[in-house]
Amino acid sequence: HRFRQVVTYTGEVSRGRFGLSLTTLKDINVDGVDDFAVGAPYGGPDGNGAVFIYHGFQIRGGELISEELKKPAQVIYASDVSVGQAISTFGWSLSGGMDMDDNLYPDLLVGAYLSDAAVLLKSRPIVQLLNHSLTFMTEGKTIDLEATSSCRNSATLSVTCVNLQFCVAYGGVGLPRNIDLDVQYFLDNKVNEPRLFFLETDSTKREERMRLSRESQNCKTYQVYVAPTLTDKLSPISAEVSLALVERSYSRTRRSLVPILNQRQKLKLGDAITIQKNCGPDNVCIPDLRLTFTAPERFVFRKNEQLEVDVRVENFGEDAFEARVYLSVPEGLLYNIFQAKDNTLVTCSPRTQGSNTTVVCDIGNPLSMEKGVHFTILLDQKMGALQEPQLQFLVVANTTNSEKDGTQEDNTVLTTVTVDIDTQLTLYGSSSPENIEYNHTLYRESGYTHEEHLGPELTHVYALSNKGPTPIIGNEVVILWPTQTLNGNYLLYLLEQPHTTGPAKCEFVPDVNPLGLQLNKEAASIKLLKAQGQGGGGEVVVEGGVVEAETSSSSSSSGEEVVVQSGGGEVVVEGGGREGIRRGGGGGSSTYYEESETRYYSSSGGGGGGNSSSSSSSSSSTSYSSSSSSHSSSSSSSSGSKHSSSSSSGHNDLVRRTREVRRLDWEEEINNCGPTLCTKIRCVAGPLTDINTVHIYVRSRMVMTTLLEYPFKDVKIFSKVVARVTSLPHSINPELLPVKSLEVATPVAPAKSLDEAPEVPWWVILLATLAGILILAIIILILWKCGYFKRNRPKEHQARQDEAARPLNSHHNNGYNNHNNYHPGDQAL
């Protein structure tokens, strides 16, 4: 049996009538196989017809026909041969196989019946390239970069050279004796950074024109060198040459056609060499890289804090060329610097594509067998939102020569670092003035037209700061202001919208100056407070859930509060709430209760002492007082709250304070106004860093007529601020942080009577005493200088002489012996 293969040819367009005409061309390309032409009178892009030229080929037994052989060698469209008026139905008829111009090549006649035209297509002579090649003149197609060489480039650097040779000849039928070829050389043009250069020009390209004689070999040799510094030592170094025939008239006959290069031959030639490597006789290196990546489990975003990661790579196989480590920088971090360890040579640089950054570290070229590198990478913080509160590192060690299967698992490390924050929202509060002493006769009972008619001015100042190094993006602040009592009387009458300094903004408050009173221009107290940057007077700090009371003019709390005061007076509770009025005693100590804490401490008062305990399950608040002789307590229960108090006459009594462990509830805190009808002042603050502080100023007037309705003289007026963190960097959930609250208190008492002698300050007494002592010392000194303390006395021996001049018995001396220094008694008589 004889088997045959059927070859099918298909036209380009539908309804082009491909195959309507068919003719043989004989051997137009001089390859020993006849060729043929196929007409498509309605083919082509414009539908005016086309002729397809196919080269014949031989089919060997059992060989499949490639698609390349089935493609037309040339397609001639009607538009290619039209001069003037367009030709249609081009290719309706074909006739070939005859040499019409005596150039030893058959030509083709094409008919177009609708145009009443016939077109003669002449064949051009074919130039066959013979023995054309491009060759590196090296042994084994390798080059040793370590070998010494006498070659020097234009920079007088010693380089490694090799000879590159190009040879070519031509032949064919009907060709002239000489032709010209345009030759273009390209060195290492398959890589981005060429490694091979011509020694004469230091370039990677070269062009020349060669004159060839028929069937005569022509060769050109050039010296090329390898760049002294190169990174890619693994991939081959290539060279390429491109050939083109110079088209000019090769015959004196005008009708002769210029030759053409055989398009079925290779008109681009190439060769390649490889760099000699320490990889055994096969010159193939198989490395085995092992990557170790170390990062902290947690990273706290602090100011100027850097994240340090540690990278180690070891090669347990053959040389690894262009060994590199790729580290994907997570969102929220920026590459800063790398540090090589253990005297290893490493270079790292960031590469950015869009919003993604990859740090690429060159660790060796090659990274030799049984060698390794060790380095660290420092990453800076970048403020921005993360999809999740974590940093994911993808680190890959790679080389251009492949490893064995099964050894690549240790080349990749995927590590997650949890992101933490270190914030500390701190609340401050103060009252200006610290306390109020009023004279009710200075204010009106009705008919208010000016703010000064209401009562004393009172300003509470609230401040927010962040003592932690991690910034707080956003905070929500609510101030509960005791505007009215439960019966609707104004207590603290709001005069203005809240003032803020720093990154804060408050919503519009509708309850400001509802009576339309005439206001002073910006109060001097507000100006002073803003100039100071904080409230004057007492200050309260709430920090990390612990309350610190710095002066007696303010207090703070994070939930239930019980005020215990000792000595001097009594305390009365108004309605059991937090914000509003409480009555405070004279001198003494005060303690502020807070939840989730048990403390033991001593308290003492001016008149006596007492121990007290409190338990509560509601939002009520109770105040107690005790004295040395009696005690009193008053409470109003709400939602099951209960209080008890007992007195004793001792000092330094032990007081136990207990709070239930409970986090503050935001909704409960901002909706608990206690015994007043409060105004909610809502503000937002942020971002807060460790260098800025937000202040909120609320100015009001205390309504004297409302205050006088209470039967107590000494009271305290409280306002409250509640704050929470609403936004943190890097998608950290702010609900993990507690709600903070703070109370600011202002003691209020009537002014002392004018008839009472004012108490003399102790320093006046001290100065007067010292002045009296000084004056007395001066007087004593003056009298001593004047001799006031000296007395005049008679001399003893003169008195004795006067007495001796008058003896009683001078003759016998009355028994007196002059030799004895002795006066007898009768002489004296």
Q: Are residues 193 and 271 in the same domain?
A: yes
Nearest one of 215, 214, 261, 264 to 32, comparing CA atoms: 264
Amino acid 357 reads T
Of the ranges 281-290, 354-363, 428-437, 609-618, which one carries the lowest mean pLDDT score?
A: 609-618
Phi first, then psi, for residue 137 (nearest 5°) are -85, 65
Residue 70 domain-assigned (yes or no): yes
Q: Cα–Cα–Cα angle for 144, 145, 147, nearest 5°?
A: 70
Amino acid 610 reads G
Q: By the 8 A CB rule, do 423 and 468 touch?
A: yes
* Cα 416 from Cα 420, distance rounded (Å): 13
Cβ burial of 148 (10 Å; 0-12, 13-18, 19+) is exposed
Q: Are residues 447 and 506 in the same domain?
A: yes
Rg (CA), the chain: 56
Residue 567 domain-assigned (yes or no): no
Q: Are residues 305 and 358 in the same domain?
A: yes
Percentage of the residues of the chain whose pLDDT score is greater than 70 = 75
Residue 732 domain-assigned (yes or no): yes
What is the domain range of residue 139? 127-275
- The distance from CA 571 to its chain's CA centroid, rounded to whole angstroms, is 53
Query: Is the pLDDT at 743 greater than 50, yes or no?
Result: yes
277 vs 101: which has the higher pLDDT: 101
Q: Which residues contact 49 (CB under 8 A, 6 or more apart)?
A: 39, 40, 41, 42, 43, 77, 78, 87, 88, 89, 90, 91, 92, 112
Nearest one of 107, 198, 108 to 154, comparing CA atoms: 198
CATH number of domain containing 677? 2.60.40.1530
- Average pLDDT of the residues of the chain: 78
Query: Is the pLDDT at 407 greater than 80, yes or no?
Result: yes
pLDDT band at 530 (very low <50, low <70, confident <90, very high): low
**Average of per-residue pLDDT across 759-765:** 86
CATH number of domain containing 296? 2.60.40.1510
DSSP 560: -
Query: Is the pLDDT at 157 greater than 90, yes or no?
Result: no
- The distance from CA 520 to its chain's CA centroid, rounded to whole angstroms, is 47
Q: Are residues 380 and 459 in the same domain?
A: no
Q: Which helix (H) or strand (E) holds 246?
A: none
Q: Are residues 251 and 135 in the same domain?
A: yes
Residue 225 domain-assigned (yes or no): yes
pLDDT band at 195 (very low <50, low <70, confident <90, very high): very high
Alpha-helical segments (H) within 674-761 = 704-708
| Sign of the dihedral through C-alpha 151, 157, 159, 165 | negative
**Average of per-residue pLDDT across 113-118:** 92
Of the ranges 368-382, 472-486, 629-643, which one carries the lowest mean pLDDT score?
A: 629-643
Residue 643 domain-assigned (yes or no): no
Q: Are residues 51 and 108 in the same domain?
A: yes
Q: Are residues 112 and 261 in the same domain?
A: no
Q: Are residues 116 and 131 in the same domain?
A: no
Count each helix (H run) and each strand (E run) in the chain, helices first.
Answer: 8, 49
What the block records as the tokens of 543 is 């920090």
Q: Are residues 545 and 686 in the same domain?
A: yes
What is the DSSP annotation of 408-436? -GGGEEEEEEEEEE---EEEEEEEESSSE
Number of compact structural domains in the chain: 5
Give the pLDDT score at 168.
96
Residue 303 domain-assigned (yes or no): yes
Of the ranges 228-232, 320-324, 372-376, which one carries the lowest mean pLDDT score?
A: 228-232
Residue 564 domain-assigned (yes or no): no
Q: Are residues 135 and 244 in the same domain?
A: yes
Phi first, then psi, for residue 826 (nearest 5°) are -75, -20
Q: Write the CA distances from 815 to 800, 802, 803, integer angstroms.
A: 19, 20, 17
DSSP 468: S
Query: Is the pLDDT at 31 greater than 50, yes or no?
Result: yes
Q: Are residues 434 and 480 in the same domain?
A: yes
pLDDT one-digit tens code per residue, 561-572: 333 232 333 333
Domain stops at, among 216, 241, 275: 275
What the block records as the tokens of 241 is 């040459």
pLDDT one-digit tens code per residue, 683-713: 999 899 888 899 999 999 999 999 888 878 8
Give the pLDDT score at 797.
57
Residue 244 domain-assigned (yes or no): yes
Nearest one of 161, 319, 321 to 234, comparing CA atoms: 321
Q: By the 8 A CB rule, do 321 and 365 touch?
A: yes
Domain stops at, among 95, 123, 151: 123
pLDDT band at 590 (very low <50, low <70, confident <90, very high): very low
CATH number of domain containing 258? 2.60.40.1460
Domain stops at, among 411, 442, 466: 411
Give the pLDDT score at 637.
32
Q: Are residues 92 and 156 in the same domain?
A: no
